[in-house]
Amino acid sequence: MIELIIPAIISCILAFFVVYFTTPPLIKILVKKNYTVKDMNKKENVMVARPGGISIILGLVVSEIVLYGFFQLNEILALIITTTAAFLIGYVDDRKVMGGWFKPVTLAIAALPIIFLGAYDSDLAFPLFGDVQIPLLYLGLIIFMIPITGNTLLYLGLIIFMIPITGNTINSIDVLNGVASGFMVIASFTLSICLFILQNYEIAIVSLPLGFVSLAFYKYHKIPSKIFPGDSGALTFGAMYGVIAIIGGVEIIAAIALLPAVINSFLFLSSVKRVVEHREIKGKPVEHTDDFKLKATNDKTAPVTLVRLILAGEPLTEKQIGFAIFKLAIFSGILAIISAFMMGVSL
């Protein structure tokens, strides 16, 4: 067991502190180069540095390379390559607004190393009922899993029973200060706990840096944000989460931990009734009150979103909405952990 504990500690420390120490200079460089965007939910004209994906990918790659030095697993190689590719795709989208096709197509290609390196198991594990082998479907599942967890577009169809519960993205939840990184802290640590429960120790350790990177980035992303992750950061988070789900054989549990984000996409899709990028929607789901709280609009053309439903009762501050989303993430995290325990029970 000691041979697992030392790599785990080293990689977690590296993951956290690389992001913790590289983000402040990154913010300075981005501000100096005028790579900033307006924070739309602030009364004053606040400009925030973007993208923070650079420090996120640095923390993840450094820690995973160290883990590869200890374990030499193809799974880690696949994770590094796919996550780095997702970062590059997001970075291109940060610099230049690409067409709606760009992210799903390129992220599907980014998932190919998982197949080429054989870093997957063709059994899909369900709580209570056990595994089912879907060999022909599974290549499609791997290819589509990465865009699903790391993209703004919604997907319907292929992914068996994950589809009703997924179709959402880490990117789509990146709507308020600190929400994407805070949500990732909860979801990724939940996934790590589930992998430990399932005694998949090596992949559990491989998954830990994602939580620590998210935690370190949250320090600068939380309200009031000093930096936004951008598409490069959100896609990096989402892609790595998706890869861990695949290489750990915990796709269903990973989807359960993501349920609040899935609900967001489901509500969005079922209200606009077509597959569309968020920026193409004209109606505004929320607006500001005089004291700059957020409130739900009565605009019937605007999509229904998670934030809009949270605001249906009363106007709330950005911070209050963030915490409401985190509470939902914790609730779904508990359901995911219960599901992990149920994996060991057979009806």
According to the binding rule CB under 8 A, does residue 133 interact with other proteins? yes
* Given 86, 119, 124, 185, the residue binding other proteins (CB under 8 A): 124
Q: How far is CA 213 from CA 11, 128, 235, in A?
A: 10, 33, 14
Stretch binding other proteins (CB under 8 A), from 32-40, 64-72, 82-90, 308-316? 308-316
> 123 phi and psi, to 5 degrees?
-95, 135
Among 208, 256, 261, 272, binds other proteins (CB under 8 A): 256
Q: Please, which residue, 96 or 273, has the CB nearer to other proteins?
A: 273
Q: Which amino acid is at 342?
A: M
Cβ-count burial 172-206 (b if 16+ within 10 Å, e if not): bbbbbbbbbbbbbbbbbbbbbbbbbbbebebbbbb
Among 69, 131, 284, 345, binds other proteins (CB under 8 A): 131
| Residue 324 is a binding residue for other proteins (CB under 8 A) | yes
At 172, the amino acid letter reads S
> Hey, is 119 helix, strand or coil?
coil
Nearer Cβ to other proteins (227/328):
328
Distances (CA, A) of 266 to 128, 180, 241, 262, 315: 26, 18, 20, 6, 23
Residue of the chain from 26, 308, 337, 340 that contacts other proteins (CB under 8 A): 308
Contact between 65 and other proteins per CB under 8 A:
no
- Which DSSP category does 162 fall into? G
98 binds other proteins (CB under 8 A): no
**Which residues between 269 and 298 bind other proteins (CB under 8 A)?**
270, 296-298
Closest by CA to 186, choosing from 75, 346, 336, 16, is 336
Q: What is the closest distance, in whole angstroms, from the C-beta atom of residue 169 to other proteins in the complex?
A: 16
Indicate the pairing of strand 36-38 with strand 47-49: antiparallel
Q: Check: CB of residue 226 under 8 Å from CB of residue 27.
A: yes
Q: What is the nearest approach in angstroms of other proteins to the Cβ of residue 227? A: 29
Q: How far is the CB of 249 from other proteins (least distance, A)?
A: 14
Angle of CA points 142, 159, 257, to nearest 5°: 85
| Helices (runs of H) and strands (runs of E) counted in the chain | 13, 6
State how far the Cα of 268 lies from the Cα of 275, in Å rounded to an integer.
9
- Output 81 or 159, the one with its CB closest to other proteins: 159
In the complex, minimum distance from the CB of residue 160 to other proteins, in angstroms, rounded to a whole number: 5
Two structure tokens written together for 50: 């973007």
Q: Whole-angstrom Cα distance, residue 51 to residue 31? A: 11
- Does 129 engage in binding with other proteins (CB under 8 A)? yes
Among 81, 186, 310, 340, binds other proteins (CB under 8 A): 310
Q: Does 50 bind other proteins (CB under 8 A)?
A: no
Is residue 235 a contact residue for other proteins (CB under 8 A)? no
Structure tokens given for 166: 């997924």
Q: Give CA–CA dist 296/184, Å, rounded.
A: 25
Q: Which of 7, 127, 211, 242 binds other proteins (CB under 8 A)?
A: 127
For residue 199, the minimal CB distance to other proteins (Å) is 20
**Binding map of other proteins across residues 136-175, x = CB under 8 A, - = no contact:** xx------------------xxx-xx-xxx----------
Q: How far is the CB of 165 from other proteins (least distance, A)?
A: 5
Binding test (CB under 8 A) with other proteins, winner from 67, 245, 302, 307: 302
Chain residues binding other proteins by CB under 8 A are 124, 126-137, 156-158, 160-161, 163-165, 252, 255-256, 259-260, 262-263, 266-267, 270, 296-300, 302, 304, 306, 308-310, 312-313, 324, 327-328, 331-332, 335, 339, 342, 347
